[in-house]
A and B are shown apart, each in its own frame.
Chain A
Amino acid sequence: MSTPVLEAPGKAPAPKRNGRVGGGLLDPKQLLTSLPDAVKKLNPVTLWRNPVMFIVEIGAVFTTVLAVLEPSFFAWAIVVWLWLTVVFANLAEAVAEGRGKAQAATLRAAKRDTTARRLKSRTSQEWDVVGAPELKQGDFVVVEAGEIIPGDGDVVEGIASVDESAITGESAPVIRESGGDRSAVTGGTKVLSDRIVVEITQKPGESFIDRMIALVEGANRQKTPNEIALNILLAALTIIFLVATATMQPLAIYSKSINLGVPDSLALNANGVTGVVLVSLLVCLIPTTIGALLSAIGIAGMDRLVQRNVLAMSGRAVEAAGDVSTLLLDKTGTITLGNRQASEFVPVAGVTEQELAEAAQLSSLADETPEGRSIVVFAKQHYGLRERQIHGAEWVQFTAQTRMSGVNLGDRQVRKGAATAVMKWARDQGGHPTDEVGHLVDGISGSGGTPLVVAEKGRVLGVIHLKDVVKQGMRERFDEMRRMGIRTVMITGDNPLTAKAIADEAGVDDFLAEATPEDKLTLIRKEQEGGRLVAMTGDGTNDAPALAQADVGVAMNTGTSAAKEAGNMVDLDSNPTKLIEIVEIGKQLLITRGALTTFSIANDIAKYFAIIPAMFAAVYPGLDALNIMRLASPQSAVLSAVVFNAIVIIALIPLALRGVRYRPSSASKLLSRNLYIYGLGGIVAPFLGIKIIDLFIQFLPGMS
């Protein structure tokens, strides 16, 4: 939505790039601009919400006091890096929020203070002028060309073209009319033509734009279930390491006391491990990496949806998207292009294809329906028949009574239409259509197509095979879904035969034919009963119950407000195919959390190997064998570990914002891949990182 301002057209990330979900990019400048916010977040009143970083801050304060009392270069170096660790964590969150704030700013621009012409009643012609914020639910306002719609609502009277670019970024105007599924209008959008009466459906201050602003700002961001669970685990780990480091102290004192000959060091004296080193160990062991990035990951996940013009009403919905195991997809518009198209001319015996094609084309020249156009196009593409201007033709329009259309050109009369209607016409004209026509018609129906019989005077020429055209690449996508463990169900109003044919062609797993809204609801309930999470798209008012019932209900922005209210996401582009991307983004969000948690925990091994020998090799020289990185000195080992611990946060911010690379595949493959990268990588990376840092900082003063 904010994309038109933030990003030039075309710069918006393509929905799919190389078959994977793309991510937002991190501008290094953002790090700088977010720095003030990051410093503000040091306030313990807000920081305690993040227990891991809160502990780090307490440690930083504690070491600062110690460093003031007993200054040394080593102590101050540790102090600085501990503070940096907290700042870096805050920075991650600030950067993620910063992007949302920028977007919110552009939205606010759209939310100008407009005035409204409020009608006394729906049918009344009298109105008074009130400010938009004063409008209440159930008020009726009249909006004319050039005016801004003062609030969210439904068109109850009239039709108008509306510019919704302020929220969708789409510059082409859309039509809004009373009744039906295109009645919803959004406050802040502009009526370009005509006059409409709108019934306000929002509560004051809770307009769609208000909510969007709140969402992208992360103002009332609530922790999602998985995030809460992960936070609990992180808190538990923090407690365990807190206990492990705190209880080490009496052991250290004892060890020092039984080795009388060993002089005091910066790491260990008669009072045990020094405060600075103890805090360093604690900070290195508790899961700071994931603790620092957790909220940024969540915010960035929402942000990635926003970049795709999808608004999630809650983070919970984004997470649920990752869990979805059944997708309900409307056939029309999602799976098929939406219109039937001619795909074959089947002549009866004794008629050439060319002859049939010519008659079919002739009968359709004036037919402006998509089906009719497709016949002309097909005839041109496959039979070389150009469109022609015909004079003196008398066009016979399709009516519900005749159920056929055609042309009378002199005494040449050509008709095409439903089989029974055209056959009857042919018989009435004195023809005797053979049984062969019936077989052809049945064959096409049986394959899910729609047969149109073409006849000239009393002679049936053949049958046009109209069929639903499945969008390109859908089969591959559904195969992909299947590999991800997601079942796709096509919803259609077609008869089961037709539905099955299209389902087979598109490669969906299942279909629901002749679907009524109640059927959809029943299907969703059935899937949920089996423990599956269901996602669906919908736009009509009659979709609302199903949207509300679905775990992920994506309402089309063009849809009714009832639909938008019922769903937990709104697709501003009104593109039903996007459901698939939403699922991928949901998964990516969870994967990113899991991967960084694994990385964070795996990092501990190297840190133990850096710090334990640094603390205790003085009393037990044998423990130097654990210093497998061969770090230069105890001081440089501890400092290297702390520095690595801080730097890795900064290094991973881009990953947290962008999300871990996600390629749709089976859970098993995904896990292997991520385990190698983030598990094994998490074990190895700190060994290398700490060693490299040590190579540099060993030359600093006080490091030996």
Chain B
Amino acid sequence: MERLPSWLRQHLAALRAVVVLTVLLGVIYPLVTTGVAQALFNGKANGSIVQAGGKDVGSAIIGQKFTDKDGNPVKKYFQSRPSAAGDGYDPTSTSASNLGPDDIVDGPNGGQSLLTQVCARSKAIGELAGVSGARPYCTPDGVGAVLKVFPDHAVSVNQACPATPFVATYEGLKVECGKPGEDYAAGRTVPVRGEAGTPAVPADAVTASGSGLDPHISPAYAELQAPRVARERGIALDKVKQLIEANTTGRTFGFMGEPAVNVLELNLSLDKA
């Protein structure tokens, strides 16, 4: 060892160090942690699996979608937030949408901008809940209210022809519908806020979460869905609200995080009720 050139000695020591530390930190540490965790917190360490009718139906802390095979909401269940994980709530493909806050112009070939997605979700959820799905910057037909302004005309770029533009004129310019495939890049982008006030559909209902597995919805969104679920299930609204309450976690110590309703647990307790 001492007779080897110093650079080689160093690398040999380095190799031994990597091996030794891998054994200590990469084998012993995780295995001991696993052992202790399994002994002390077995349920949680294994993913907080919940059962219905003796069968595992999911994890209490992983959201799932409550839609039928065609992707339509199953109305008797509270619906989760939109998800960008795979086809929705796929734990093997977790993801956020990663769309930017000013992603407001749909792609020329029909790719939806984040704004249009929000508007469309809002409209659909509004219809499902029987409230207005109107939001600022959204057209009544549920796309982003965005104009491309040219010197002599303007285009409601997200409203593909033959749709009627959400406004007829903009600053004296005639507003046209967007011709599919046409490149409007040269125009000045102007989102139009519109008249909509505070939306009836809550924020979390129209946005995808970070993980795509958000097990929660806001109490407001649960509140919005409660009448529908009660109606579908033929149970009293108060009962539903009670269950919402029971499945709501508040802020820990009163200040950490936000109040949240666990959708899977809520739906399970509805099924049990």
Contacts and interface: CB of A to CB of B under 8 A. Distances in A.
A–B touching in complex (CB under 8 Å): yes
B191 interface: no
Interface string A284-321: 00000000000000000000000000000000000000
Interface string A601-613: 0000000000000
The 3 closest A-B pairs by CB, nearest first: A260-B186, A261-B186, A260-B185
Interface string A233-266: 0000000000000000000000000101100000
Contacts of B187: 261
Interface residues of B, number: 5
A260 B148 CA distance: 12
Nearest to B150: A261
B188 interface: yes
A260 to B, nearest CB: 4
Contacts of A261: 150, 186-188
A258 B185 CA distance: 7
A258 to B, nearest CB: 7
A260 B189 CA distance: 11
Contacts of A258: 185
B104 to A, nearest CB: 14
A687 to B, nearest CB: 31
A260 B188 CA distance: 9
A258 B187 CA distance: 10
A261 B187 CA distance: 6
A500 to B, nearest CB: 59
Contacts of B185: 258, 260
Interface of B: 150, 185-188
7 contacts: A258-B185, A260-B185, A260-B186, A261-B150, A261-B186, A261-B187, A261-B188
A258 B188 CA distance: 11
A258 B186 CA distance: 8
A527 to B, nearest CB: 41
Contacts of B186: 260-261
A260 B185 CA distance: 6
B190 to A, nearest CB: 11
A261 B185 CA distance: 8
A261 B153 CA distance: 13
Nearest to B186: A260
Nearest to A261: B186
A258 B189 CA distance: 11
Interface string A329-372: 00000000000000000000000000000000000000000000
Nearest to A260: B186
A693 B250 CA distance: 60
A261 B186 CA distance: 4
B11 to A, nearest CB: 33
Contacts of B150: 261
A624 to B, nearest CB: 15
Interface string A259-290: 01100000000000000000000000000000
A194 to B, nearest CB: 73
A52 B267 CA distance: 70
A260 B186 CA distance: 4
A80 B9 CA distance: 62
Interface in A169-206: none
B20 to A, nearest CB: 40
B155 to A, nearest CB: 13
A680 to B, nearest CB: 36
B220 to A, nearest CB: 33
A444 B185 CA distance: 100
A217 B186 CA distance: 64
Contacts of B188: 261
Nearest to B183: A260
A54 to B, nearest CB: 40
Contacts of A260: 185-186
A96 to B, nearest CB: 52
A210 to B, nearest CB: 53
A260 B187 CA distance: 7
B100 to A, nearest CB: 14
Nearest to A257: B185
A558 to B, nearest CB: 60
Nearest to A258: B185
B101 to A, nearest CB: 14
B157 to A, nearest CB: 13
A698 B60 CA distance: 68
A673 B174 CA distance: 63
B89 to A, nearest CB: 35
B173 to A, nearest CB: 14
A304 B68 CA distance: 90
Nearest to A621: B188
Interface string A496-534: 000000000000000000000000000000000000000
A616 to B, nearest CB: 15
A258 B150 CA distance: 15
Interface in A537-580: none
A260 B150 CA distance: 11
Nearest to B151: A261
A258 B184 CA distance: 11
A123 to B, nearest CB: 67
A270 to B, nearest CB: 13
A261 B183 CA distance: 12
A258 B102 CA distance: 15
A212 to B, nearest CB: 54
Nearest to B188: A261
Interface in A136-190: none
Interface string A476-500: 0000000000000000000000000
Nearest to B149: A261
Interface string A402-439: 00000000000000000000000000000000000000
A261 B152 CA distance: 13
A257 to B, nearest CB: 9
A261 B150 CA distance: 8
A503 to B, nearest CB: 57
A260 B149 CA distance: 12
B262 to A, nearest CB: 42
A622 to B, nearest CB: 11
B251 to A, nearest CB: 36
A258 B183 CA distance: 12
A467 B150 CA distance: 98
A619 to B, nearest CB: 11
A635 to B, nearest CB: 23
A368 to B, nearest CB: 79
Nearest to B187: A261
A690 to B, nearest CB: 30
B135 to A, nearest CB: 23
A261 B188 CA distance: 7
A261 to B, nearest CB: 4
B128 to A, nearest CB: 38
B150 to A, nearest CB: 7
A260 B184 CA distance: 9
B113 to A, nearest CB: 15
